[in-house]
C-alpha cells in the first residue's frame, strides 16, 4: 500500500479512523489523504441569488482552518499528511478521490454497536462502502495501536469472490497477520454435507492457486457464524466481500453483511467484488 484516504467530519469517530490510519502509515511509510466534505450543493456554488461567492470562499477558508486544527495531533507527527477539502454534497464521491490519487484503502469511523444499525445503514459509511472500488475499513473504537494478529475472511467460496480474497490475503500479509478463512454452514436450503463443503472449498482454493486451511463453522445464521467464529479465534479484524452498488454479495443476502458490520465489536473491512 502507498496511500490511505480518511474522510473526516471532525467527530470522535473520524478521529478513531485517523488514529488507525496513522498507525498503518507509521508501520508501512504510507501517505494519508485526510478528506473533508464541505457538503455545499450546486445551487450554493452557482447561484447569484441569496448566496454570494464570497460566502463560499469564507466557508472554504473556515473549513481549512478547522481541518488544520483537527490535524494538530501528536500521533500524526512524522506522518505524511495531505489535507483535501471538497465541496461535494455526498460521501458517495469518495471513490472519485480514491481513483484520482490511486488510493489503496479508505478508513472510516463509525459509532459503536449500540444503535449502529440506524446509523450505518443509509449513512455516509454505508455510501462509501457501496461506491468504493478499493477496500474500506470501518473502525468503531479508539485503537491507539492498530495491531492485527488474527484476520477472519468469510465468503461464499464462489469464483466471484476470488479477487476480494486475494486482496484480503495481501492485506493480512502486509500486517503480518494470520488469515483465517471460514465457510459458514447453516441449516436449511443452503446446508452442505461435510463432503460437499470440502469439495466446494477445494475447487475454490484450486482456482486461487493457494493452499490454506479453511474452517467450516456450523451456526444458525451466517451473521452469528461469522461473529461467533471470529470471537473463538480472537480475531482483530473481519473481512467480507461486497458487490458495491449492486448491494452486498450474494453470500450476504439482505441485511446480513450490514448486520455483521453493525454488530461486530471489532473493525470490519469490505472488499469490492
Q: What was the pLDDT predicted at 119?
A: 41
Q: Which CATH number fits domain 147-273: 3.20.20.70, 3.40.50.620, 3.40.50.1370, 3.40.50.360?
A: 3.40.50.620
Measured between alpha carbons, how far is 99 from 95 in angstroms, rounded to an integer?
6
7-36 residues labelled b (16+ CB within 10 A) or e (exposed): bbeeeebbbbbbbbbbbbbbeeebbbbbbb
For residue 270, list its beta bridge partners.
136, 240
Q: Where are the domains of the chain?
A: 1-146, 147-273
Please report which residue ranges of 71-160 form alpha helices under DSSP H: 94-100, 116-120, 124-131
For residue 236, list its beta bridge partners.
none
Q: What was the pLDDT predicted at 93?
A: 75
Provide φ and ψ at 166, rounded to 5°: -65, -40
| Triad 56, 62, 64: Cα angle to 5° | 105
The two domains 1-146 and 147-273 share their CATH topology (first three levels equal)? yes
Q: Are 242 and 130 in contact (CB under 8 A)?
A: yes
> May I ask the CATH class of domain 1-146?
alpha beta
Q: What was the pLDDT predicted at 135?
A: 93
Q: What is the pTM of this model?
A: 0.85
Q: What was the pLDDT predicted at 118?
A: 41
For residue 179, list its beta bridge partners.
151
Report strand pairing: 268-272 vs 136-139. antiparallel
Q: Are 20 and 193 in contact (CB under 8 A)?
A: no
Measured between alpha carbons, how far is 64 from 43 in angstroms, rounded to an integer?
22
Q: What was the pLDDT predicted at 59?
A: 74
Q: Are 15 and 109 in contact (CB under 8 A)?
A: yes
- pLDDT tens string, the chain, 273 residues long: the values are 899 999 988 888 889 999 999 999 998 999 999 998 876 555 555 555 555 567 667 777 888 888 989 999 999 999 999 998 887 555 667 888 888 899 999 999 887 544 444 444 446 676 777 778 899 999 988 887 889 999 999 998 999 899 999 999 999 999 999 999 999 999 987 899 999 999 999 999 999 999 899 999 999 998 899 999 999 999 999 999 887 655 544 444 445 666 787 788 899 999 988
Nearest residue to 141 via CA among 166, 112, 161: 112
Locate cell 477558508: which residue? 61
Amino acid at each position: 500500500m502507498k496511500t490511505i484516504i480518511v474522510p473526516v467530519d471532525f467527530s470522535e469517530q473520524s478521529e478513531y479512523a485517523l488514529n488507525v490510519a496513522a498507525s498503518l502509515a507509521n508501520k508501512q511509510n504510507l501517505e494519508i489523504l485526510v478528506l473533508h466534505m464541505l457538503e455545499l450543493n450546486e445551487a450554493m456554488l452557482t447561484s447569484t441569488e441569496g448566496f454570494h461567492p464570497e460566502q463560499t470562499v469564507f466557508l472554504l477558508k473556515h473549513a481549512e482552518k478547522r481541518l488544520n486544527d483537527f490535524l494538530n495531533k501528536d500521533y500524526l507527527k512524522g506522518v505524511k499528511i495531505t489535507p483535501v477539502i471538497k465541496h461535494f454534497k455526498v460521501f458517495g464521491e469518495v471513490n472519485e478521490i480514491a481513483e484520482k490519487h490511486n488510493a489503496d484503502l479508505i478508513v472510516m469511523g463509525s459509532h459503536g454497536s449500540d444503535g449502529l444499525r440506524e446509523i450505518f445503514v443509509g449513512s455516509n459509511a454505508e455510501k462509501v462502502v457501496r461506491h468504493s472500488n478499493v477496500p474500506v475499513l470501518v473502525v468503531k473504537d479508539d485503537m491507539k495501536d492498530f495491531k492485527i494478529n488474527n484476520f477472519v475472511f468469510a465468503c461464499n467460496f464462489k469464483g466471484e469472490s476470488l479477487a476480494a480474497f486475494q486482496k484480503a490475503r495481501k492485506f493480512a500479509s502486509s500486517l503480518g497477520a494470520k488469515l483465517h478463512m471460514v465457510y459458514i454452514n447453516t441449516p436449511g436450503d443452503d446446508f452442505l454435507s461435510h463432503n460437499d463443503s470440502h469439495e466446494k472449498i477445494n475447487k475454490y482454493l484450486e482456482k486461487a492457486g493457494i493452499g490454506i486451511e479453511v474452517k467450516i463453522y456450523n451456526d444458525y445464521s451466517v451473521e452469528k457464524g461469522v461473529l461467533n467464529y471470529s470471537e473463538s479465534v480472537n480475531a482483530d479484524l473481519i473481512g467480507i466481500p461486497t458487490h458495491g452498488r449492486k448491494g452486498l454479495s450474494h453470500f450476504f443476502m439482505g441485511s446480513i453483511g450490514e448486520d455483521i458490520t453493525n454488530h461486530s465489536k471489532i473493525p470490519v473491512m469490505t472488499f469490492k467484488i
